[in-house]
Amino acid sequence: MLPIPPLIALLLAACIPWRAAAQPAPRFEDTLAQRVQACASCHGQQGRARPDGYYPRIAGKPAGYLYNQLKHFQTGQRQHALMARMVDPLSDAYLWEIAHHFASLDLPHAPALPARAPAAVLQRGEQLALRGDASRQVPACTACHGAALTGVQPAAPGLLGLAPDYINAQLGAWHNGTRKAQAPDCMATIARTAGVRQLHATGGAGLGEGGTAMSAPGSPVSAHLSRQRGALAMGLVLVLLICAGAWLLWPSQPVAVPALNPTARLDDTATIERGRYLAVLGNCQTCHTERGGAAFAGGRGIGTPFGTVYSSNLTPDGTGLKDWNADDFWRALHHGQSRDGRLLNPAFPYTNTTHVTRPDSDALFAFFRSLAPVASTVPGNDLGRYLGSQAALKAWRALYFRPDDTVTAAPVDELQRGAYLVNGLAHCSACHVPRNALGGSSDMLSLAGGFMSAQGWYAPSLLDPAEGGVQERELADIVALFQTGRSGTHIVTGPMAEVVQHSTQHWESSDLRAMAVHLKALPVTRSRVQATTEARSDKALNQGAKIYEQQCAQCHGAQGQGIRGNDGAWAYPALAGNSTVLQGVPANLVQAVLYGGFGPSTAGHPRPFGMPPFVLDLNGQDIADLLTYVRSAWGNDAPAVSVLDVQQLRNTAGK
């Protein structure tokens, strides 16, 4: 069983607890158009497309087509980091609503852009678009997209108004396989049949739009990154010294574990169902499912500060758990060892699962064994020659891991049950633990908060009410936050939306309450994380105030007071007194402004509001000035945000 990566498996780190200003917030007309206003940032108001044309017009396109594309971004059949981030937390029902909303907008098309291609290319493009090329078995575009190229219901989009750059980009994506559709994938066949020159001719026929591309994934906030690099260098020296010991090179043998209780049944319905629920508690499917792949079949690549770790196949196939038994599975959870004795990478949070009881481990195994087998060969972890070695893992375990030999039956007491969930299957400390350069901590169950450098998010301290701690909140509010994604002045967004959508909203109410009781009872310890002491210049404050008025005030209020929806809950949270705004590490705030996003679609809140991404409209200096102003206005008092902080986060996928 390979890793459930701690940096993504249960990302409680990205829960953004919004704290409202004392003054009353205005209300506004709550419509679906308002909830999806975030889409206008790229696709233009009402989906008409932006002037640069790279992000296409979506107004009036068939609802079936729009829904399919949104799903393809979720499953990886279309690849675009910003779109994937926007749609990942949304349910199928909400995606259908969004698709029907934009499909219903019958708006006039903008005038065609001037042709930039030579006359011969335009002529060839017109031939392909209107008449096709029988000699190459390439049908005319009009055959599927309509005689006027305005689209055909239910799922053929209009091409009118799309720029050459956009069309060329999409044809190229079909040609090289980075854009896919369900079989029969006609466009992929045509794109590969036509040839590159023919594709360019079609794209140059004056049908469409152009623009700029997103930045590639990158790295974290500057102050923490520089410190981590220095500490990492010293840590690597320490690892090399430790690895010099001969004992490190001796192959590990499987730890002897007690045999399965002969009275235990792993094939009865009740045990399998309990295992299914335990898998939900641990959010196993999210990490053990490749984007667009079969559930639990593994292969999802997870970035860590040391390289990429790939999750394992949990189905009972020969490439998965077919040859495993319950004892082997317990050895993996409790001792962090594979069935052959190989030490597992600590990205799989066995520092947490070692606290899971044997009966719960057996039930989980019974559930995984009941799944349909899926053949899926998972790539080897890409951690380098030394960091991925068994010797390095021995050294890490010697420093940071001890199996919990005291765990017996799962506790019944509510407070203890909450601690069992938080420390075990929910593995909250996998994100909230403050890690050193070796990825460890003197207390691997600590919830004191830490910077997750591979993702560019800060996991707030759950011991400090000024960050992510809930000690001062009502139990009902805490439960509602994990169940619906919002509660009072708090809204869940960012990677935490994934956790709520796929895991905590499906917990039994008794377990949600037990977790809330435990988190509320945690001792209060003020965070020691400090922000960089960047000075706030008058120029930055003045410029930031102008940007806020232009870009933010219409949603968050002129005085940062936020806006409530018709149900009285926050649609756009207050920024005055907002704990994320005031955190010492501004990473989560920068992520929200750069990449925007939606909260999770849940049964209690199925149609969340969206935050538009500003990565396309504001440069690093603009965002630094804006956030410096927000962190100092309306009674807020937090240090300035530097351009370097923004730029380094701008080069991440914001995941």
| Full DSSP string of 73-110 | HHHTSS--HHHHHHHTT--HHHHHHHHHHHHT---PPP
Shared-domain flag, residues 250 and 319? yes
DSSP secondary structure code for residue 27 in this structure: B
Residues 370 and 244 in one domain: yes
- 235: confidence class by pLDDT, cuts 50, 70, 90: low
Average pLDDT over residues 432-449: 93
- We report the CATH number of the domain holding residue 585 as 1.10.760.10
Alpha-carbon Rg for the chain, nearest whole angstrom, is 26
Using the structure block, give the residue that is written with the tokens 């009009």. Answer: 142
Which of 359, 387, 410 terminates a domain? The answer is: 410
- Identify the band that residue 3 occupies on the pLDDT scale cut at 50, 70 and 90: very low
| Confidence bin at 325 (pLDDT 50/70/90) | very high
Does 83 map to a domain? yes
Predicted pLDDT of residue 214: 36
**What is the rounded average pLDDT of the residues 204-210?**
45
Closest of 123, 147, 75, 64 to residue 99, by C-alpha: 64
Tell me: do 291 and 370 sit in the same domain: yes
Confidence band for 219, pLDDT divided at 50, 70 and 90: very low
Residue 474 lies in a domain: no
pLDDT band (50, 70, 90) for residue 334: very high
The answer, yes or no, to whether residue 371 has pLDDT greater than 70, is yes
**How many domains, the chain?**
3
pLDDT at 1: 43
Beta strands at 307-310 and 301-304: parallel, antiparallel or unpaired: antiparallel
State percent of the chain over pLDDT 70: 82
Q: Is the dihedral of CA 32, 33, 38, 42 positive or negative?
A: positive
Higher confidence at residue 586 or residue 147?
A: 586
Residue 381 inside a domain? The answer is yes
Residue with tokens 């990565």: 615
Residues 354 and 260 placed together within one structural domain of the fold: yes
Query: Distance (Å, rounded) from C-alpha 346 to C-alpha 551?
Result: 43
What's the rounded Cα separation, in Å, for the pair 83 and 73?
A: 6
Give me the phi and psi of 639, to 5 degrees please: -60, 165
Q: Do both 194 and 233 map to the same domain?
A: no
Q: Which of 381, 410, 439 is the last residue of a domain?
A: 410
Over residues 131-149, the mean pLDDT reads 81
Q: Do residue 261 and residue 383 come from a single domain?
A: yes
Identity of the residue numbered 526: R
pLDDT band for position 208 (50/70/90)?
Answer: very low
User: Averaged over 582-600, what is the pLDDT?
Assistant: 91
Answer yes or no: do 199 and 242 share one domain.
Answer: no
Are the C-beta atoms of residues 457 and 587 closer than 8 Å to each other?
A: yes
**C-alpha closest to that of 201 among 167, 238, 159:** 167
Same structural domain, 98 and 167: yes
**22 alpha carbon, distance to own chain's centre:** 32
Distance between alpha carbon 511 and the CA centroid of its chain, in Å?
24
What is the spatial distance between Cα 146 and Cα 140, in angstroms, rounded to a whole number? 10
Residue with the larger pLDDT of the pair 160 and 120: 120
Q: Is the pLDDT of residue 223 over 80?
A: no
User: How would you class 360 by CB atoms within 10 Å of its CB: exposed for 0-12, middle for 13-18, buried for 19 or more?
Assistant: buried
Question: pLDDT at residue 258 above 90?
Answer: no
Residue 59 placed within a domain = yes
CA 463/CA 525 separation, integer angstroms? 5
Confidence of residue 142 (pLDDT cuts 50, 70, 90): confident
Among 387, 410, 433, residue at a domain's last position: 410
Domain contains 313: yes
Determine the pLDDT at residue 111: 67
Residues 168 and 50 in one domain: yes
Residue 23, pLDDT > 70, answer no
Q: What are phi and psi of 574, to 5 degrees?
A: -70, 145
Q: What are phi and psi of 156, to 5 degrees?
A: -100, 115
CA distance 170 to 187: 10
Rounded to an integer, what distance in angstroms lies between the CA atom of residue 116 and that of residue 124? 14
Same domain, 238 and 170: no
In this predicted structure, the answer to whether residue 636 has a pLDDT above a threshold of 70 is yes
In a domain, 402, yes or no: yes
Q: What is the mean predicted confidence (pLDDT) over 548-553?
A: 95
pLDDT of 236 higher than 70: no
The pLDDT value given to residue 11: 35
108 lies in the same domain as 242: no
**For the chain, what is the mean pLDDT?**
83
Residue with tokens 């509010």: 477
**CA 324 – CA 318 distance, rounded (Å):** 10
Residue 221 lies in a domain: no
The answer to whether the beta carbons of residues 174 and 191 sit under 8 Å apart is yes
Residue 454 pLDDT > 50: yes
Mean pLDDT lowest among 44-58, 190-204, 351-365, 376-390: 190-204
**Residue 435 in domain:** no
Question: According to DSSP H, which parts of 303-357 are helical?
Answer: 326-335, 350-353
In tens, the pLDDT along 242-252 reads 544 544 555 66
pLDDT the model gives residue 423: 97
Query: Could you tell me the residue range of the domain that residue 606 belongs to?
Result: 538-650
Given a cut of 90, is residue 121 above it in pLDDT?
A: no
pTM assigned to the model: 0.79
Local structure of 564: helix, strand or coil: strand
Contact partners, residue 81, CB within 8 Å, separation at least 6:
214, 217, 653, 654, 655
User: Cα(478)–Cα(485) distance, rounded to whole angstroms?
Assistant: 10
Q: How far is CA 145 from CA 185, 195, 204, 207, 397, in A?
A: 15, 20, 17, 12, 60
235 and 345 fall within a common domain: yes
